[in-house]
């Protein structure tokens, strides 16, 4: 029997990131929390418990600074993260050197100040979701559907039909289940509510919070539309330029995290491989927490899809004790 090859593993660069974190804290004058998601990572409910573990380790602070690099994820998890952060500080500042989009933008809304670098951008937060009844793509995977996409289809249909009486839903229902359309509409209302609630942690003007929430949910033609600092200020957010020195240090930290988050795949054969990748990293002084994918993938040709096997994915906790670096599992269920 042919032996399986040695499993590739990503590096854990705790000493390097801790050194940079300490340097950035001196420049900002407040404790720093880094929240970094890789291309396959996302804002998710598990992150809330991980943030809690780190915040308990750091203790309550008068001021906290949060570095975010993420392509988004779960909006309700974003609200819970903001709620948790505001319990542990009086003033929260978010540092954005790169992408901070979708649910990550929601987290940024919970800060008293958003400092943005030359490469930084937020995004619209209009909701798209993948439903159990969503359409299937060429790889037999469910695809996400957004309310904006549906609204544009209907508006374009009505514009081009010129009132001939045809119902656009007759054709749409052949491709998108009615329950999916209902779920997407409900999610859009939820997104506006989440933004209002998050803004209320520091913004007392209800009308302003409502206006910002509606703009971010419905005024942009594309979910990933880049909202730079100029646009963020126009929307009404307290956005200020990130100092060049801090921005450069954060980009250096991002580079180290990117090395940790590199894809570490091990091919067994054309239908089987092992995935060992760090997806999410949450780190503060003295403690690094990260989620590591660790599982086999097998391709089922009759179903035209990949399935997971031997899944040992878990959160990891790295810290220094007695001069030694301890790397162990962080159990979250």
CA nearest neighbour of 284 among 246, 253, 252: 253
- Of 219, 244, 275, the domain-final residue: 219
User: Sorting pLDDT into bands at 50, 70 and 90, what band is 60?
Assistant: very high
User: CA 112, CA 258: separation in Å to the nearest integer?
Assistant: 28
Asked if 278 and 158 sit in the same domain, the reply is no
User: CA 78, CA 100: separation in Å to the nearest integer?
Assistant: 12
Whether the Cβ atoms of residue 103 and residue 74 lie closer than 8 Å to each other: yes
Kindly state whether residue 92 falls inside one of the protein's structural domains. yes
Domain span at 295: 14-124+224-330
pLDDT digits (tens, 9 = 90+) for 20-36: 999 999 999 999 999 99
Asked if 94 and 240 sit in the same domain, the reply is yes
Task: State yes or no: pLDDT of 243 exceeds 90.
Answer: yes
145 vs 77, 246, 311, CA distance in Å? Answer: 20, 38, 28
Kindly state whether residue 9 falls inside one of the protein's structural domains. no
CA nearest neighbour of 68 among 117, 126, 29: 117
Give me the number of domains the chain comprises: 2
User: Sorting pLDDT into bands at 50, 70 and 90, what band is 74?
Assistant: confident
pTM for this model (two decimals): 0.84
E-strand stretches of 71-165: 89-96, 113-116, 128-129, 145-146
63 has which bridge partners?
91
Handedness of CA 115, 119, 120, 121 (dihedral sign): positive
| Three-state SS at 263 | coil
178-199 vs 206-218: helix crossing angle, rounded to 10? 140
For the CA atoms of 251, 257, 259, 263, the dihedral, rounded to the nearest 10 degrees, stands at: -130
Containing 327, the helix (H) or strand (E) segment is strand 324-330
Task: State yes or no: pLDDT of 1 exceeds 60.
Answer: no
Asked if 142 and 272 sit in the same domain, the reply is no
What pLDDT is recorded for position 132? 62
**Mean pLDDT, residues 166-194:** 71
265 has which bridge partners?
275
- Of 202, 219, 236, the domain-final residue: 219
Give the number of C-alpha atoms closer than 13 A to the C-alpha of residue 148, restricted to the C-beta side. Answer: 17
* CA 325 remoteness from chain centre: 28
**What does the mean pLDDT of the chain come to?**
86
Kindly state whether residue 6 falls inside one of the protein's structural domains. no
Lowest mean pLDDT among 104-113, 122-131, 278-287, 320-329: 122-131
Return the CATH number at 25: 3.90.226
Kindly state whether residue 52 falls inside one of the protein's structural domains. yes
Tokens of 3: 């032996």
* Beta carbons within 8 Å of 262's beta carbon, 6+ residues apart: 10, 277
Phi–psi pair at 10, nearest 5 degrees:
-75, 155
């Amino acid at each position: 029997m042919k032996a399986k090859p040695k499993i590739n593993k990503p590096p854990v660069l705790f000493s390097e990131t801790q050194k940079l974190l300490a340097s950035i804290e001196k420049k900002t004058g407040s404790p720093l929390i880094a929240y970094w998601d890789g291309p396959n990572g996302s804002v998710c409910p598990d992150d809330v418990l991980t943030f809690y573990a780190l915040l308990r380790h750091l203790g309550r602070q008068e001021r906290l600074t949060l570095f975010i690099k993420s392509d988004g994820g779960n909006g309700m998890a974003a609200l819970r993260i903001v709620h948790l952060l505001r319990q542990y500080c009086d003033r929260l500042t978010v540092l954005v050197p790169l992408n901070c989009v979708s649910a990550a933008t929601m987290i940024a809304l919970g800060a008293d100040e958003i400092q943005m670098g030359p490469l930084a951008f937020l995004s619209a937060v209009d909701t798209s979701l993948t439903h159990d009844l969503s359409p299937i793509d060429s790889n037999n995977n469910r695809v996400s559907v957004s309310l904006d996409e549906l609204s544009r289809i209907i508006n374009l249909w009505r514009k081009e039909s010129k009132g001939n009486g045809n119902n656009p839903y007759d054709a749409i229902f052949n491709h998108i289940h009615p329950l999916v359309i209902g779920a997407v509409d409900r999610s859009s209302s939820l997104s506006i509510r989440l933004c209002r609630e998050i803004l209320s942690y520091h913004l007392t003007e209800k009308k302003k919070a409502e206006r910002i929430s509606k703009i971010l949910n419905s005024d942009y033609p594309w979910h990933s539309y880049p909202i730079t600092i100029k646009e963020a200020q126009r929307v009404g957010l307290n956005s200020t330029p990130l100092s060049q020195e801090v921005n450069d240090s954060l980009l250096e930290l991002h580079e180290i995290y990117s090395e940790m988050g590199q894809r570490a795949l091990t091919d067994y054969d054309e239908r089987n491989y092992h995935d060992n990748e760090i997806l999410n990293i949450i780190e503060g002084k003295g403690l690094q927490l990260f989620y590591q994918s660790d599982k086999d993938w097998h391709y089922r040709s009759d179903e035209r899809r990949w399935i997971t096997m031997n899944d040992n994915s878990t959160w990891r906790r790295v810290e220094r004790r007695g001069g030694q670096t301890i790397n162990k599992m962080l159990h979250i269920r």
